[in-house]
């Protein structure tokens, strides 16, 4: 079954938080529901604004971000959705961008790399159980782990681990 394309209003409701839409409409929201006059029917204190939606107890209308904005801005829902998405700077992914993203190699398992370095230290540095808490080795280990976000390819993984092993040995006085 072919996938149907999402409407602009549905995309906007997924991307624009209701609380943000309510602030654009001049309304306050809260977890327990803040009372206000209904933007649709005008009933006094009938509207309740929650963090994820609004509801009018007088006209029995449920408000999504787009529905609220279309009423307040006095425009069609699709136009309100387009304006709201423009306000937050949303740019939909095109097919070429989605295809390029799908072909990209997955990111390395950085927590596994961190565990690998710690395991290597425990196996190759005598007395690591105590040394790991000393200032210099702990600082060098932290610096190595701080470089993990820059590791992106398989070659980066091997190079990062190799260099970290070298500097860890130097940090405890074992020159390579």
What does the pLDDT look like over 54-113, one tens digit per residue?
A: 999 999 999 999 999 999 999 999 999 999 999 999 877 777 777 877 888 888 999 999
Q: Minimal CA–CA distance to 120: which of 109, 111, 128?
A: 128
Return mean pLDDT, the chain: 91
Q: Is 2's pLDDT higher than 60?
A: no
Ranges of each domain in the chain: 8-91, 110-171
User: For residue 99, what pLDDT is reported?
Assistant: 82
Determine the average pLDDT of the residues in 154-170.
95
Tokens of 165: 């092993």
Name residue 36's beta-bridge partners: 47
What would the DSSP string read from start to end of 18-68?
A: HHHHHHHTT----TT-EEE--TTT--TT-EEE-SS-EEETTTTEEE-HHHH
Determine the average pLDDT of the residues in 140-150.
94
The CA distance from 142 to 12, in Å, is: 41
Do 65 and 18 contact (CB within 8 A), yes or no? yes
Q: Is 159's pLDDT higher than 60?
A: yes
Write the pLDDT tens digit of every residue in 8-57. Answer: 899 999 999 999 999 999 999 999 999 999 999 999 999 999 999 999 99
Runs of H (alpha helix) within the chain? 8-15, 18-24, 65-72, 77-88, 95-103, 110-124, 128-131, 135-146, 154-171
């Amino acid at each position: 079954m072919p996938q149907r394309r999402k409407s602009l209003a549905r995309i906007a409701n997924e991307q624009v938080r209701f609380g943000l839409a309510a602030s654009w409409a001049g309304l306050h929201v809260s977890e327990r529901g803040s009372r206000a006059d209904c933007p649709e029917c005008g009933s006094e204190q009938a509207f309740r604004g929650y963090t994820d939606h609004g509801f009018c107890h007088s006209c029995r209308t449920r408000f999504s971000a787009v529905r609220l904005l279309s009423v307040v801005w006095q425009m069609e829902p699709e136009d309100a959705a387009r304006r709201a998405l423009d306000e937050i700077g949303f740019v939909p992914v095109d097919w070429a961008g989605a295809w390029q993203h799908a072909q990209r190699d997955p990111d390395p398992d950085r927590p596994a790399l961190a565990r690998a370095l710690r395991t290597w230290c425990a196996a190759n540095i005598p007395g690591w159980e105590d040394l790991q808490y000393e200032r210099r080795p702990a600082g060098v280990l932290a610096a190595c782990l701080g470089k993990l976000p820059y590791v992106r390819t398989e070659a980066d993984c091997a190079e990062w681990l190799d260099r970290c092993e070298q500097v860890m040995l130097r940090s405890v006085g074992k020159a390579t």
